[in-house]
Structure 1
Amino acid sequence: MIAGKEYREVYHRGDWFDQASREEILAYQERALGRLLRHATMEVPAYFFLRSVVEKFNPLEALSAFPFLEKEELQKDPDRYLSRNLDQTPCYETTTGGTSGNQLRFHLDDHSQSMETGFMHRQWKRVKYKAKDKKVVFRGVSFDNLKPNVFWQENPIYNEIQFSPFHMSDANLESYLIEFIRYQPKFVHGYPSAVEIFADYILRNDKTKLIPKVQAVLLGSEGTTDQQRRIIERGLGARVFSWYGLSERVALGGECEKNSSYHLMPDYGYVEIIKEDGSLCYEEGDEGEIVGTNLFNFSMPFIRYKTGDWAKRLSAECECGRNWDRITEVKGRWKKEFVVGSSGAKISTAALNMHGDLFNSVQRFQYFQDKPGEMVIKILPKKEFSNGSQELIESAYKKKVGDELQVKIRIVDDIPLTKRGKVKMLDSRI
């Protein structure tokens, strides 16, 4: 996958975008957007009615005629947003992780994952990352058949060791540290909440002199607070590099080398910042919701998709020389929330995140905890939910968290929404 044609094309055109003028970038986006909108109005039923608009106006003008796309609308009638020519656009079905307790199922083009890797490696290049570099990863992947007191596994494809974010108690962290030192990683990659726990342990136990030279710490999937950044940079002795992105792949922005603003990848998505009244944010400092249009997914185009995340717009001109759209102060759906394991380990809700078919028969869900080591998943079921569905969910969480958490399912009649119409991911009474 890393050596594929799509990966190489994405990775290598980054040099051009770094040097491109604002006019050149907008011209590229207009061409890419035009291809997508023409395809959507010809092949995607939800957008047939806009065909004449796309034929009449330039792409940036035509885009404003497209309605905002809400997650709930996609969930209600996904086939309306699916391209009719899937035989010419090979794709696969995937899901969001359900950070708001409400998963979305959608389609991505087959080549999108190799492109995604190319985009990620391209922005990590700002901190000198190369695909061959060794890294340690703190993320919520499955950890199968771990030996006693071994809380990691190797992934040779990506030249990395994956550390479990589910067992990070003080009693276990010395083992993490010993393996970290043995492996001598050049980069650390993970959830801010999990990496912070590791860095804080290093600081509290005065172990900084033992840490190998780390080039940078790559943080994603959660927002990064100033306090987390300070602890991680002190504990690991390396600069933090964070980015903004989401499973729906309508926007991707990485930190600048010169400051903490996010440069939005111009060939990844076309991003608008929308005020609460629906008008566009044009001025520096204007705050609104991030609305994105993916530029390379044709099987199910996400056009003017409302992400639920908010940010402030900055001018495109930056001290680093790029002329990309920039944002700052991203306020995401992710909260820095933890459940507490039986050993006292803090487990991020991001690490508990599940992708795939697991919640097909679930309308909404929420984590509830009032006692360390025990967690209830409240489930508002769909009609097709069964005992088998419950057993699959319990088994998947058992496989993920092991003995750190006793996970129980509780079927409920309702999960109240917040004022913004979302489900609170974690209801903690600890």
Structure 2
Amino acid sequence: MSLMDVARGAYVRSPEVVRRSLAPLVSLVPTGLKFGGNYRRWRERIARAAADPAYAATEHLAALRAIVGRAHALSPFYRELIERALGSGFDATTFELADLQRLPILRKEELRQAGEAALTVPRAEADRGDTSGSNGERPFTFYLDKDRSAREMAFVYDNWSRIGFTEKTGKVVLRGFGLHPKGTSISQWEPALRELRLSVFPMTHDDVRTYVELIDRYELEYLYGYPSAIELMCRHMCRIGRVPRRPLKGILPISEPLYAHQRRIIAAVFGDVPIANFYGLSEKVLFAREINSDGFYQFDPLYGRAELVDDDGRPITETGREGRLVGTGFTGRSMPFLRYDTEDRATLVELPNAVNGQRLTVERLTPRRKPDFLVSADGNRVVTIDFTPENPRYFEGIEEYQFYQDRPGYSTIRYIPTADGGEADALRVASGLTQRTHGKIVFAIEQVDRLAGGRAGKRAFIDQRLDISKY
């Protein structure tokens, strides 16, 4: 494990006050050293795999055997699962791609129940991660490698390099709900990473005027963030008639699907700017690049094994059929994910095979976590993908929840309490979120027996009854 790999990740994830004190020193570190040798080696491997399908296929199988072997050797949960499916004489060195389908598909609930038995290292040697529990589900806790930063950035920067972005390039960042809990700061310059961080709430006309001035001041040419936040910024730019002086060279979307109407408004504001879109998961299981403007995504064979299955778990082999996306991650060693149900869906374009370097290609990739909006009292949209803290303790006492809105500036948290939870827990959350929106949305609570569901029984994160097109 490289010390630089761990240090870089620790810096990125450290509190603002720590980053502020270290930023001047970190900014002086040469770019090559800042990213490290592990990052360069992964970039070389990714480039070679892109040029040589035979190499990609060989490395794909070797990585699969390595992660399955590690899971069997070091995780009590996976050892029992693998031996139940493949026998007590299991030998990872003879494991083949077809053998993977003999293992069961794992959902969050099964991994939640497994707990630390799913880990291959002591808990203290890994970083904790949490999904935010969107769509009314409970948050899911998982564990990641402390030195993952270099590997992750190698795949991301390789994708961004397609439109000219490099390790030395600065960018505008539109992610995160707010940069200051009391709303006293809506922007932040991060010199060590060359990032201009802009709050996505509040995002008024005046805010966007300020943002354009800051973009001009730092002469930034790449825009990175949630598509819903980028769309909102573009709408404001249209209304105030302001755009940055320097033409943008690229858009770097994250975390949400990029819809056709969002591409249109980006083009209307910034022109025919290239977009380097990709698909990833907080759990670091799969990574896919958007390979054309038709929305085709191709999964990286060095990152993981992607499968499409039907609702009964059977492999989808017919082009044009939709299925569930199942992933086996290769890059995360602390907590392996073998045949993990991502809960996302996609339509088959091409199956992985030796000729294409074991790259699954899909279209109409639909993440489980869709962008949603609430509307504030002043009629502004509030981007909610990063609305609630990812720390599951924030929702202690609440089993499931959903936001309901039928008038601007007000929202009701409909919730189901845990066995030992109750009204006080819901009121604590409501009060915290009202503060988080700087009072622009007032939250009330309502205890319910069940939450409103939609097609196929899925619950929306927000039961939005306003006509969002009016805001």
- Is contact 2:297–2:361 with CA below 8 Å preserved after alignment? yes
DSSP-derived class of the 2:279 partner:
strand
Alignment-derived partner of residue 19 in structure 1: 51
Pairwise CA distance, 1:384: 4.6
- Is contact 1:363–1:381 with CA below 8 Å preserved after alignment? yes
Pairwise CA distance, 1:202: 2.5
DSSP-derived class of the 2:276 partner:
strand
Alignment-derived partner of residue 138 in structure 1: 174
Query: 1:75 aligned to 2:109?
Result: no
Query: 1:34 aligned to 2:71?
Result: no
- Per-residue displacement from partner, 1:350-392 (whole Å, max 9, x unpaired)? 1314312423543222112222122233332324547885576
- Is contact 2:317–2:351 with CA below 8 Å preserved after alignment? no
DSSP-derived class of the 1:301 partner:
coil
- Measure, in 2, the Cα distance between the counterparts of 1:349 and 1:258: 26
- Per-residue displacement from partner, 1:197-240 (whole Å, max 9, x unpaired)? 211232344435x5422111111211111111111122123222
- Is contact 1:288–1:312 with CA below 8 Å preserved after alignment? yes
- Per-residue displacement from partner, 1:288-333 (whole Å, max 9, x unpaired)? 111001112222211111111111222379xxx9873322111222
Alignment-derived partner of residue 141 in structure 2: 105
Query: 1:44 aligned to 2:75?
Result: yes
Alignment-derived partner of residue 383 in structure 2: 348
DSSP-derived class of the 1:327 partner:
strand
Alignment-derived partner of residue 11 in structure 2: none
- Measure, in 1, the Cα distance between the counterparts of 2:223 and 2:204: 19
Identity %: 26
- Is contact 1:143–1:399 with CA below 8 Å preserved after alignment? no
Structure-to-structure mapping, 1:149-168, within 5 angstroms? 151-168=186-203
Q: In structure 2, which of residues 248, 258, 263 is the aligned counterpart of residue 214 of structure 1?
A: 248
More helix by share: 2
- Is contact 1:169–1:346 with CA below 8 Å preserved after alignment? no
Alignment-derived partner of residue 302 in structure 1: 337
- Measure, in 1, the Cα distance between the counterparts of 2:69 and 2:147: 20
- Is contact 2:304–2:329 with CA below 8 Å preserved after alignment? yes
- Measure, in 1, the Cα distance between the counterparts of 2:75 and 2:111: 13
Q: Which moved more, 1:10-19 or 1:291-300?
A: 10-19
Q: In structure 1, which of residues 250, 253, 275 is the aligned counterpart of residue 288 of structure 2?
A: 253
Query: 1:124 aligned to 2:156?
Result: no
Residue segments in structure 2 that go unaligned for 5+ positions in a row: 1-7, 9-33, 467-471
Query: 1:226 aligned to 2:260?
Result: yes
Pairwise CA distance, 1:5: 4.4
DSSP-derived class of the 1:157 partner:
coil
Q: Which moved more, 1:164-173 or 1:287-296?
A: 164-173
Code of the residue aligned with 1:19 in structure 2: it is: A
Pairwise CA distance, 1:278: 2.0
* TM, length-normalised to structure 1: 0.88
Q: In structure 2, which of residues 98, 101, 111 is the aligned counterpart of residue 61 of structure 1?
A: 98
Alignment-derived partner of residue 238 in structure 2: 203
Pairwise CA distance, 1:340: 0.5
DSSP-derived class of the 1:368 partner:
strand
- Is contact 1:232–1:240 with CA below 8 Å preserved after alignment? no
Structure 1 residues 406 and 180, CA gap change in structure 2 (3 angstroms): farther
- Measure, in 1, the Cα distance between the counterparts of 2:274 and 2:361: 20
Count of aligned pairs: 422
Residue segments in structure 1 that go unaligned for 5+ positions in a row: none
- Is contact 2:208–2:237 with CA below 8 Å preserved after alignment? no
- Is contact 1:271–1:292 with CA below 8 Å preserved after alignment? yes
- Per-residue displacement from partner, 1:329-353 (whole Å, max 9, x unpaired)? 1122233421011222111221314
- Measure, in 1, the Cα distance between the counterparts of 2:116 and 2:424: 27
- Measure, in 2, the Cα distance between the counterparts of 1:332 and 1:172: 30
Query: 1:423 aligned to 2:454?
Result: no
Structure-to-structure mapping, 1:166-181, within 5 angstroms? 166-181=201-216
Alignment-derived partner of residue 361 in structure 2: 326
- Per-residue displacement from partner, 1:250-292 (whole Å, max 9, x unpaired)? 1111222676422212111110011223221234333211100
* TM, length-normalised to structure 2: 0.81
